[in-house]
């Protein structure tokens, strides 16, 4: 039976690029793969046909011969439906792109080498004042440091690591798993390509030792909870002299007794006496940079918000400073004497004699309540 045109098999044109050719084959290989179509002879035949077509067209010399002479130009050179390697773009290569990350390496992957040290995170608690103004803090971090005896190599002084005989120093080995040729880390040297026969007595061959180090961290002004400061190379030391990881200092700002922060704005509640709220007055209001005067106009109601522009925080990312928002909370007098209580009753009587004009919100609220019950 005559063979189908290879371009037709893969569903591509004759001027197809190698990248698009690979995509077309990958799509068909995944669709007709025997593992996905058990006991399906038709799918197996299409899978073999697609593989043979791809092995020819992925090789520039074979492709040129095929374009000029057709199947006669590549007789005996195709994969003929087999599952072995051979030829450019073999079965293992195409699936290496898909499964390389899962099985520890794709086509062409070399020695992995010693692993970089792990990154660390340290949570640093700051007061609001420290976060707003910036500071310098010392922290103690438990970590792995490079061994001072073997200088990170892991080998005893005077000796050196030797090449792994299992992988020949490549750090990876190939294994046949059914239809797949899988490349994975060498089980003997764990992908490093070298073995330490005479380990350092101080670190046991790891090239690093546990330690606690003290670091000085500069906190820029304007940081907030959730901000991170990266200290490059201050994480855990890598194995056998590999680079160290990084240390990330995570900022957490403690709650403040007076202020609450929201971005660049600062909020606070200001207690105001009944008299000052009624007649008006001037109060000292705290800010993060000292006291300021706040003028409270007469007849100020509880909950009134005053904005002091530019008295907030300048973000660590720059820009204009935020505002200080002061919420008035009218304080009810407590622990009154009998005389003070009598004076308040007299005052209350005088308000009631004046009708609703002294308490407009109270009267409108009661009118609303009355209408609510009248409609029931």
Binding residues for Zn(2+): 147, 150, 164, 167, 186, 189, 200, 203
Q: Which residue has the tokens 């698009």?
A: 20
Give the burial class of 303: count Cβ atoms within 10 A of its Cβ; 0-12 exposed, 13-18 middle, 19 or more buried: exposed
**Closest CA relative to residue 196, chosen from 232, 143, 239:** 239
Q: What tokens were used for 113? A: 């080498």
Binding site, by residue number, is 147, 150, 164, 167, 186, 189, 200, 203
Closest CA to 131 of 216, 253, 266: 253
Note every long-range contact of 78-82, with CB atoms under 8 Å and residues 24 or more positions apart, other chains counting.
78/52, 78/53, 79/48, 79/51, 79/52, 79/55, 80/48, 80/52, 81/45, 81/48, 81/49, 81/51, 81/52, 82/48
What does the chain come to in residues? 376
Q: Distance between terminal CA atoms of the chain? A: 91
* 284-289-291 Cα angle (round to 5): 10
Q: HEC profile for 297-350?
A: CCCCCCCCEEEECCCCCCCCCCCCCCCEEEEEEEECCCCCCHHHHHHHHHHHHH
Distances in whole angstroms, Cα of residue 38 to Cα of each of 32, 33, 34, 41, 55: 10, 9, 5, 8, 24
In sequence order, the β-bridge partners of residue 125 are: 252
């Amino acid at each position: 039976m005559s063979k189908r045109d290879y371009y037709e098999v893969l569903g591509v044109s004759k001027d197809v690029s190698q990248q698009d050719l690979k995509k077309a084959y990958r799509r068909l290989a995944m669709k007709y793969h025997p593992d996905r179509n058990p006991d399906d002879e038709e799918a197996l035949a299409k899978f073999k046909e697609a593989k043979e077509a791809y092995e020819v067209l992925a090789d520039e010399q074979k492709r040129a011969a095929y374009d000029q002479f057709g199947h006669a130009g590549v007789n005996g050179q195709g994969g003929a439906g087999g599952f072995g390697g051979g030829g450019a773009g073999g079965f293992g290569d195409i699936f290496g792109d898909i499964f390389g990350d899962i099985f520890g390496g794709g086509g062409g992957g070399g020695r992995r080498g010693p692993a970089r040290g792990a990154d660390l995170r340290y949570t640093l608690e700051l007061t609001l004042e420290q976060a707003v103004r910036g500071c310098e803090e010392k922290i103690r971090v438990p970590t792995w440091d490079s061994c001072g005896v073997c200088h990170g190599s892991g080998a005893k002084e005077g000796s050196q690591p030797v090449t792994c005989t299992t992988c020949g120093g490549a750090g990876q080995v190939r294994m046949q798993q059914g239809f797949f040729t899988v490349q994975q880390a060498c089980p003997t040297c764990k992908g490093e390509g070298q073995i330490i026969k005479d380990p350092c007595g101080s670190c046991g061959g790891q090239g690093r030792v546990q330690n606690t180090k003290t670091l000085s961290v500069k906190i820029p002004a304007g940081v907030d909870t959730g901000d991170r400061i990266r200290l490059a190379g201050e994480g855990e030391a890598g194995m056998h002299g590999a680079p160290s990881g990084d240390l990330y200092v995570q900022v957490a700002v403690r709650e403040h007794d007076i202020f609450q922060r929201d971005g660049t704005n600062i909020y606070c509640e200001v207690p105001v006496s009944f008299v000052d709220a009624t007649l008006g007055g001037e109060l000292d209001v705290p800010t993060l940079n000292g006291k300021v005067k706040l003028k409270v106009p007469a007849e100020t109601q509880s909950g009134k918000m005053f904005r002091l522009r530019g008295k907030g925080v300048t973000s660590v990312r720059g820009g204009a400073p935020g505002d200080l928002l002061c919420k008035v909370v009218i304080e009810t007098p407590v622990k009154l004497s009998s005389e003070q209580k009598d004076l308040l009753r007299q005052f209350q009587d005088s308000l009631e004699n004046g009708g609703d004009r002294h308490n407009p919100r109270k009267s409108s609220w009661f009118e609303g309540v009355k209408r609510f019950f009248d409609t029931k």
